[in-house]
Amino acid sequence: MIVAGVVILTYGLILTLAPAIRYHAGLERFQFQHWIGILAWFLSFSVLHHQTQRHLPESDPYLLPLAALLSGIGLLTIWRLFPSLGLRQMAWLVLACLLGLIVVNFPRLLQFLRRYKYIWLVLGLLLTGLTIFLGTNPQGEGSTRWLYVFGIHFQPSEPLKLLLIAYLAGFFTDQLTVRGKQFEVFLPTLVVTGLALMHLIFQGDLGTAIIFMLIYLAMLFTSGGSLWVFWLTPVLIAIAGLAGYMLTDIVQLRIDAWLKPFSDPTGATYQVVQSMIAIAEGNLIGTGAGLGSPGLIPVAVSDFIFSALAEELGLLGIAAVIVLFFLLIYRGIKIAASTNNSFYRHLSLGLTFYFGIQGILIIGGNIGLLPLTGVTLPLLSYGGSSLVVSFLGVLTLLTISHQPESDNQTKTIPLPRYALIGVILVLFFIIEIIGASLLSFWFSPALVDRPENPRWIIDDRFVQRGEIVDRDNQTIITNTGITGNFSRTSDHIPLYPVIGYTDPVFGQTGIEATMFNYLRGKIGYTFATQFRQRLLYNQPPKGLDVRLTIDLGLQRSADDLLEGYQGAIVIMNAASGEILTMASHPYFDAAYLQEDWDTLLVDETAPLLNRATQGLYPPGATLFPFIIIDDALISTQLQEPEDRLTVKTADLNCALKPQKPLTWQSIIANGCQTAQMTVAADVGSDALINLYADLGFFTSPQLHLPVADAAASNTIDLNAFFSGEGNFKLSPLQMTMAVSTLSNQGVLPGPRIVNAYNDPVEGWSTLPKLQANVETFDAVSINRVNNLLRQSNYPYWQVVSTVMTEDQQPVTWFIAGTSADWQGQPIATVVVLELDAPSLAESIGRALIEEAIQFLGQAQ
C-alpha cells in the first residue's frame, strides 16, 4: 500500500514538473492542480484500507493496493489529459470508495445478491431497457447508452455486468445440488443472458455484448458444464463475428480496420493507427508523463487510455500495468479456490473473468491485436459507472476472501477448470505484452515516420525551426511567438509559392517540405544530441538555418515588376545553376492560410502553385536560338533571311515587329514563329528531339523544390516540335536552364535553390546539388549563336515570343542571357506572362537582367 502511494506521488511530481520542461521555463509553469486528485486518492484509500483492516482482517492483503494503484495511475493520466475530466473522475473515485465502505462494513449484503438474484437482475435489465427510451449521450450525439439522473450521466450496462455475474453465480450454486448437466437446466441462464445480449446489440454496445457472452461461457464451463462449452467458445465468437460482419456496419468497419489497419489511416482506421503510433512513440521508457502528446489519440481518456499510458510511460510502464492486471486475476482465482462457499466461488470467478476479459479486449484493441471494442479498461479508464462497478467488484472479491472456512459445502468446481481459464487469460496478457513490445521496438521507427503521425506539428510549436535566409543571410522566413506557440513569419510574402507553407491540416509544400529534416534539426546534430533531447524533453533540438541562393534585393525587384500580373520569373547564375530569383504571381500569404484556404483552392489563378517550377507553358518562338545551334549558315550570318524564308515579312508571325532590313538577329529576337517553323522543318524532327532532350526539355529538373513532370517526347505532336505550340510545354525553370547553356559555353547547369545549412558544429555547410552540370554543346557553335544574337549596346542577348496555349490563352516569353564575352558571372533570365504583352515582358526582363548584371555580374 505504501509502495503504491510512492508510485502515485512520483507520478504526480513528474506531472508537476513536466510542463516547465516542455516550455523550457521555470516555476511559473509548474502544474499543481492534480494534487487535489492525489489528496483525494490518498484519503479515500487510507480510510478504505483502515476499514478493511478492521472489518476484514483476514482478507486478501494485495487486492486493495492493486486496485488503488491502477485507479491512481488512471486518475492522474486522465487529469494530465483533461483536467476537468480528472476532477470528475476524482469525484467518482471518492463515491466508489464510499460505496466500497458499505460493502466492507456489511459483508452480509452479498447474500442478498444471491437470495434476490432475479429481482436484482430484472432491475438491471429494466434500467438498461430504459436507455432505449430515455437514453442520452454525454457527448451529445452518438449511441444513447447513458441515463441522465440528478445531473449525472450513468451507464446502466456497467452495473448490469455485476448483476448478471451475481445472478449466474447464484443460479449455478442452486443447480449444483441437482448436478444435472443437461441442456434444459441451463436454459434459464441462457434466456436471461440472451435477453441482455439482445438488448446490448440493439443498443450497439457490441463490446459489452461480447464481454457478457464470454463471461457467461466461462462461468458455464467452470460451474461444471461439459467440455464442449470450452471448445464451443471460439466457434461461437467466430460465428458472432461473422454475423456481425454481415449484418452491421460498425462490426464490419472494426474488423476491416483490424485486418488491414493501414488501409485507410485518415478515415476508418484512424483511431487504431493513431493508437499504434502513440505506443511506438513511447518506446522503452516513454516520453515521460506530461511530455508526450497522447491528446492526439482519439478518446484517449477512456477507450485508448492504454495507448496514452504507453506513449508517456513506455513499454516498461504498460508492461507493469498488464502485470498488475494479471496479478489481480491471480488473486481472484486464488480467492475462488480458497473459499468454501459455492456461491462466493462462482461470484469471485465471474468477477475475475470480468476484469480479465474486459482488460484483454480493450488492450488488444489498442495495440491492434484484436478488433477494437469500445469498452473501458477497468479501474483505469475515465467513466464513472465503469469505475464504480470495477470497485464494487474488487471489494466484493475482498469481502469473499475474508469468509471464514465453512466445511459444510462440497467443492464442486474442479480446480483445473478455472485454473485453465486463468492460464488462458494470463496467456492473452502475455501475448499482448509481446504485441506492445513489437510496436514499441520493431515497428517503432516505421510507425513514428508515418505521415499520419502529427507530432511534428506539436514540436513546431515548442521548438524553433531553422530560419530561411537569402544568399547574403538576410532573413526570409523566421519564427515568431513564444515557446508553445511558435509560428512562421515571412519578410517577403511574394516568395511564399517558393518557400511553401506548413500547416497542421493542409500539410507542407516548397522549401519547408523539402528541407523538413534540416529546419527541424533532424539532420546535422549528432545522435547523442538528438537522443539527449528526446530523452529529456521529448523534443527535437533547435532547427538548423537554411540558406537559399535567392538574392532578396533582386527578388524584390522582380516581384515589384510582376505585381498585378500572372506569370513567373526565374533568374539564374548560368554557370553555377544558382537560382537568384524565382517569382510566381499571384502569390499567397501562408500566415492567413487557414482563413483563405477555401478561396485559394478554388481560385482559378492558382496562387498556391509555384509557376516557375510547376507551371508548364508552350515555348513558342523561344526555341529559335536553340534550333540554329548546329546551323552554321544562319549562325554565322552567311545566308540572308530572304534567301531562306519564302514567306513575306508580314506573315512571319512575330511577337514584335522586326526592324528593316531583316536580319536573323532581329527575326529571332522578335520571336517570329513562322520563320522558326521553316528552319526547324529543315533540321528535321529526329534531330530536334535529340536537341531538346540535350536541353533537358524531357527531364524534370532536380532541386529542393517540387517540379512539374516534364513532357515526354513520344506524346508530343511532331508539329509542336517546330512551332513550340500545342502540347509541347516547358516550365520556366527548364527554359532558364536551357538559356543558361547559350550564355555558359554550352554547359547545361544543374539548378540549385538551397545553398547551405548552418551546421551546429561546422557552421554553414554547402549542400550538394541534386543535378550536376552537363557539357551539352561545343562552345564554338554556342558562341556563334550567342554572337549572332548579341545587341550592340548591351552585354546580353534576348528573345521575345508570344504563343497560344491549347485552350487559346496567350503566353508571352522573354528570355535573355549574358553575352559570350561578358567578363562577370553569366546570367540567364526568363520571364513568362500569362497574357499577350511582348513589350511589357521585354521591359520587365531587361530591367531585371540589367539589375542582375549590375549587382551580381560584377560582384566577383
Binding site for another protein (CB under 8 A): 3-4, 6-7, 10-11, 13-14, 17-18, 20-21, 26, 62, 65-66, 69, 285-286, 288-289, 291, 313-314, 316-317, 320, 323-324, 327, 330, 334, 411, 535-537
Cβ proximity to another protein: between 317 and 641 the closer is: 317
Beta carbons within 10 angstroms of residue 815's beta carbon: 28
What single DSSP character describes residue 638? -
Instruction: Tell me how far the alpha carbon of residue 281 is from its chain's centroid.
Output: 12
Reading across the β-sheet that carries 763-766, which strands appear in turn?
487-490, 475-480, 468-469, 546-548, 754-759, 763-766
Who contacts 569 (Cβ-Cβ below 8 Å, separation ≥6)? 558, 561, 562, 581, 582, 583, 612, 732, 829, 830, 831, 832, 844, 848
Q: CB of residue 238 vs another protein: minimum separation in angstroms?
A: 31
Q: CB of residue 331 vs another protein: minimum separation in angstroms?
A: 8
Cβ proximity to another protein: between 17 and 98 the closer is: 17
C-alpha cell at 237: 465468437
Cβ proximity to another protein: between 3 and 638 the closer is: 3
| Dihedral angle sign, alpha carbons of residues 731, 737, 743, 747 | negative
Q: CB of residue 107 vs another protein: minimum separation in angstroms?
A: 24
Instruction: Tell me how far the alpha carbon of residue 683 is from its chain's centroid.
Output: 54
Cβ proximity to another protein: between 10 and 823 the closer is: 10
Q: Rounded to the nearest 5°, which phi and psi values hold at 567?
A: 165, -165
Cβ proximity to another protein: between 255 and 323 the closer is: 323
Cβ proximity to another protein: between 28 and 643 the closer is: 28
Residue pair 671/705 in contact by the 8 Å Cβ criterion? no
Q: CB of residue 858 vs another protein: minimum separation in angstroms?
A: 52
Cβ proximity to another protein: between 16 and 736 the closer is: 16
Residue pair 852/571 in contact by the 8 Å Cβ criterion? yes
Strand 546-548, strand 152-154: pairing: unpaired
Q: CB of residue 336 vs another protein: minimum separation in angstroms?
A: 14
Query: What do you get for the CA distance between the two ends of the chain, in Å?
Result: 78
CA–CA separation, 527 vs 543, rounded Å? 15
- Give the CA distances from residue 177 to residues 153, 171, 172, 347, 409, in Å, rounded to whole numbers and listed in that order: 42, 11, 9, 17, 10
Q: CB of residue 20 vs another protein: minimum separation in angstroms?
A: 6
Cβ proximity to another protein: between 247 and 415 the closer is: 415
- Identity (one letter) of the amino acid at 461? R
CA–CA separation, 808 vs 804, rounded Å? 5
Q: CB of residue 356 vs another protein: minimum separation in angstroms?
A: 16
Who contacts 628 (Cβ-Cβ below 8 Å, separation ≥6)? 634, 635, 664, 668, 679, 785, 788
Q: CB of residue 13 vs another protein: minimum separation in angstroms?
A: 6
C-alpha cell at 132: 432505449
Who contacts 436 (Cβ-Cβ below 8 Å, separation ≥6)? 279, 310, 315, 318, 319, 322, 367
Cβ proximity to another protein: between 260 and 532 the closer is: 532
CA–CA separation, 157 vs 386, rounded Å? 9
- Identity (one letter) of the amino acid at 53? Q
Q: CB of residue 502 vs another protein: minimum separation in angstroms?
A: 27
Q: CB of residue 12 vs another protein: minimum separation in angstroms?
A: 10
Cβ proximity to another protein: between 286 and 625 the closer is: 286
Cβ proximity to another protein: between 16 and 193 the closer is: 16
Q: CB of residue 187 vs another protein: minimum separation in angstroms?
A: 22
Q: CB of residue 499 vs another protein: minimum separation in angstroms?
A: 33
Cβ proximity to another protein: between 14 and 218 the closer is: 14
Residue pair 382/89 in contact by the 8 Å Cβ criterion? yes
